[in-house]
Each structure stands twice: as C-alpha cells, then as structure tokens.
Amino acid sequence: MLAVAKITAKGQTTIPQDVRNALHVAPGDMITWEVGADGTAIVRRAQPLDLEYLRAVEGTLSEWAGKADEEAYRGL
C-alpha cells in the first residue's frame, strides 16, 4: 500500500484512513516510529504496557539495584 500525506508547518500530518485501518489505530492510540540509517521509517501501533506484569518483573530486578551497579552503569 502506498499512501501520501502532507506535513504542516507545525510538523503535523493526517494518517490516511487506509493506513489507520491497516494499523488498527483510532483516536487516542499511540504509534511508534523506527527510523533507519537509510532514511526509511517503520510506523507501528504501540501496544499498551501490561502494568501488572511490569510490576511483577520489577521485583525480580532488585539484584541490579546496588551501589556497585549504579556506579558501573552511570555513564551509559
């Protein structure tokens, strides 16, 4: 599918209806942009985070929360 849209002076654009349908997005949904070094862009529908799952995983990461880890990774 090829779709063309114009960018406004504010950097905004309208996502064509065919593209919105293909991405299964609606007002209020979030999209992500992945831009390659060659100038290509991939647009995807952002999946909502499962906060309950993330909170459960957070408890298992405490081993990485020590002072030595903070110092080792501070410059990254």
Residues above pLDDT 90, as percent of the chain:
47
pLDDT score of 11: 95
pLDDT confidence tier of residue 15, bands split at 50, 70 and 90: very high
The yes-or-no verdict on residue 26 having pLDDT over 70 is yes
The Cα 35–Cα 49 span in angstroms is: 22
Tokens coding 16: 């064509």
Give the global pTM. 0.58
* pLDDT value for 50: 67
Find out whether 30 and 49 touch, Cβ atoms under 8 Å: no
- What does the buried/exposed string (b/e) look like for 23-44 if buried means 16 or more CB atoms within 10 Å of the residue's CB? eebeeeeeeeeeeeeeeeeeee
